[in-house]
Amino acid sequence: MTQEYTERSVTADSEEPPGGSRVRSLLDRLRRSRGIWRRGIVLALFAVLFGLLMLLHASIPNTIGNLGSLVETFLPWFGVVIPLILILGLVRRSATALIALLLPAVVWVNSFGGLLTDKTDDSKGAGDLTVATHNVNADNPDPTRTAREIAASGVDVVALQELPNGAVPTYEKALAGTYRYHSVQGTVGLWSKYPLSGTEPVDIRLGWVRAMRSTVTTPEGPVAVYVAHLPSVRVKLHAGFTANQRDKSADALGEAIGHEPLRRVVLLGDLNGTMNDRSLTAITAQMRSTQGAAGHGHGFSWPASFPMARIDQIMVKGIEPKSSWTLPETDSDHLPIAARVELG
């Protein structure tokens, strides 16, 4: 009897209370879930720091190698890192990293997501003036073909930059059949189907002419058209982003446009900088980018073989952009860009 009682006691003690297995299973799941939060901490920290870099890029100083401008030039490409973090977060099964990824993702979409939508106005009669700009490259092996390809676009006004003296007659001859009026000032030129007047060089503090201004008399009235080729920039290990001369020229160009007496203004040119670059604020603060207002995508224009940045710009003031696009590649290292605007 005693042995039987003991066995029954042991059996009774070993039986789990009702719901005990469920509690233990829940605790096991909780212990396992802790790993989801603990894994990928370093990846999560990187995602947060990356997001803060994009959010606070304007706080990066330019005093050391123009680092702020360098970051802002390629800021749209920061979005490439976001899917990489997402993939790594999924591989690591890290909930922490995936939640942290929301910061850079939201910042990028807020800054550049609007460029991914098509803002082109294709309604009938949208726009009454088409313009284009192209850095033709001083070493262009076939200026005649490049000029003919630009003329074939059918735009009303064309600005060309980096025109070497020896090639100017070639461009003039190739464009003469399409554009009755033109003027070349230094290394930049303007061709138009409408009369030009008041044409003169614009001093952008270089010592030679790389900018000009002209009044284009359209059927809708006069428009001030500026053509500019700001100094080139380089990235050097010992000096960083060498953009000081470009920045000074941008300030001078912005000042000239600010004093323009005509209400309607168009700027066509290679600015060697993007709309995000704070060093172009003297220009961008008073003008609108046709790509940002009426384009589709980022509209990168350089280098032509694999465009990574939009350093060629069509900007307007007192004018409504209707569409903006890149033209087919020529023999230049830049892509030509065009826009349709409404003057009324």
User: What's the whole-model pTM score?
Assistant: 0.84
Percent residues over pLDDT 90 in the chain: 75
212: pLDDT strictly greater than 70: yes
Residue 118 DSSP symbol = -
pLDDT bucket at 116, cuts 50 / 70 / 90 = confident
Return all residues near 215 (Cβ < 8 A) that are at least 6 apart: 196, 197, 198, 199, 222, 223, 224, 225, 262
Residues of the chain with CATH 3.60.10.10: 119-342
> Cβ of 80: how many Cβ atoms within 10 Å?
9
More confident residue, 19 or 40: 40
pLDDT bucket at 66, cuts 50 / 70 / 90 = confident
Fold of the domain spanning 119-342: Deoxyribonuclease I; Chain A (3.60.10)
Q: Looking at residue 140, what is its pLDDT? A: 97
Alpha helices in the chain (DSSP H): 2-14, 20-38, 41-55, 67-73, 81-92, 95-100, 102-112, 143-151, 168-175, 244-258, 281-284, 290-294
65: pLDDT strictly greater than 70: yes
49: pLDDT strictly greater than 90: yes
Reported as a single tens digit per residue, the pLDDT across 150-203 is 999 999 999 999 999 999 999 999 999 999 999 999 999 999 999 999 999 999
Reported as a single tens digit per residue, the pLDDT across 121-154 is 877 678 999 999 999 999 999 999 999 999 999 9
Reported as a single tens digit per residue, the pLDDT across 226-248 is 999 999 987 665 555 678 899 99
Reported as a single tens digit per residue, the pLDDT across 279-292 is 999 999 999 999 99
Mean pLDDT value across the chain: 90
Reported as a single tens digit per residue, the pLDDT across 90-99 is 998 898 999 9
